[in-house]
Structure 1
Amino acid sequence: MDITEIEARIAIGETKARYCLTLDTKDWAGYADCFTEDLEMDTRPSGGILTVGRDETVAIVRRSVETAATCHHVHSPIMTFNMDGSADVIWAMQDRVVWGPDRRFEPGLTGHTGFGHYHEHYRKCADGRWRIARQKLTRLYSDNHYEGGITKPAPNPAAPA
């Protein structure tokens, strides 16, 4: 591993740290800056949708979690650098979401805690910053939390039927 790859690993890690911080603090301009303009975000494997384009994706994420308290943790990155100068990274993740009153999807549901992986493709942009160009979120397990401290396993959309 040479110094250029070490610097790239650090910069990619900082991009992902900014992603988590700006999402959780609702800094939407900072969150958008973590992505390329042609971003593809695929949350279908975890029960969501596919979106294309940074502006559309950020608007959808913002509407989804604007009133929620969130905490995203990522760790244990596996990074592969490609011949074209891009990088593919898999991050282990955990998220905790406490929904605002406007986003309760069923009676008594207050939020969830999930575990899974981000599968991401990074590109180094003209300004020298690494940004996420593609992201897929997969979940291994998720708990739904209800009023009164009740926790139940959430359905896993990726599980075989």
Structure 2
Amino acid sequence: MDLRTLADKIEIAELFARYARGVDTKQWDLWRSVFTPDAHLDYSSVTGVVGSRDEVIATLEKALGTTPMTQHFITNIETEIDGDRATARAMFYNPMLLPNMTEQSYCGGYYHHNLVRTPDGWRSEKLVEENLWFVNHPSAAS
């Protein structure tokens, strides 16, 4: 692996860390900076939210604004780089305390990103969340 590829992989891993910190601390400008302005996000496997970066962030701000605690662990990042484009797949584990629930919930799965190198560094232009499991889902309490 050459130094450029290694540096790209580190930068992409840092991008994922900013994603987690932005959403967990509700720093929406930081979270927004992970994506290109025209990015498409698909969280349909767990929340049903699908749309542009700004459409999705409006929904997440509202939904997570009342969520007492979330913590995203993103690991096992696999990146394929081809010039100024890349794909990445990473595992996530997300413990959380959801509104109006007394017990913690947990979910896990994969993030699938299509990335592009921009003048400001790597950014995600497409994210698909693949939720594989969810323990103590709010709909189970109904």
Q: TM-score, structure 2 length as denominator?
A: 0.88
Aligned residues: 139
Which residue does the alignment assign to 1:157?
Answer: none
Change (3 A) 1:47 1:30: closer
List alignment gaps of at least 5 residues for structure 1.
102-107, 147-151, 155-161
Q: What is residue 140 of structure 1 aligned with on the other side?
A: 132
- CA shift, 1:142, in A, is 0.9
**Distance of aligned partners of 1:78 and 1:33 in 2 relative to their CA distance in 1, 3 Å threshold:** same
Helix, strand or coil at the partner of 2:5: helix
2:62 alignment partner in structure 1? 63
Amino acid across the alignment from 1:116 = G
Identity %: 25
1:1-161 mapped onto 2 (5 Å cutoff): 1-52=1-52, 54-68=53-67, 69-83=69-83, 85-101=84-100, 112-127=105-120, 129-144=121-136
Q: Which has the larger radius of gyration?
A: 1
| RMSD value, Cα | 2.1
Gap regions ≥5 residues in structure 2: none
Runs ≥4 residues deviating over 2 A: 108-112
Shift in CA distance, 47/63, structure 1 to aligned 2, threshold 3 Å: closer
The CA deviation string for residues 36-82 of structure 1, in whole angstroms up to 9 with x for no partner, is 10111111233423112x22221111111112111011100111112
- Secondary structure of the structure 1 residue equivalent to 2:136: strand
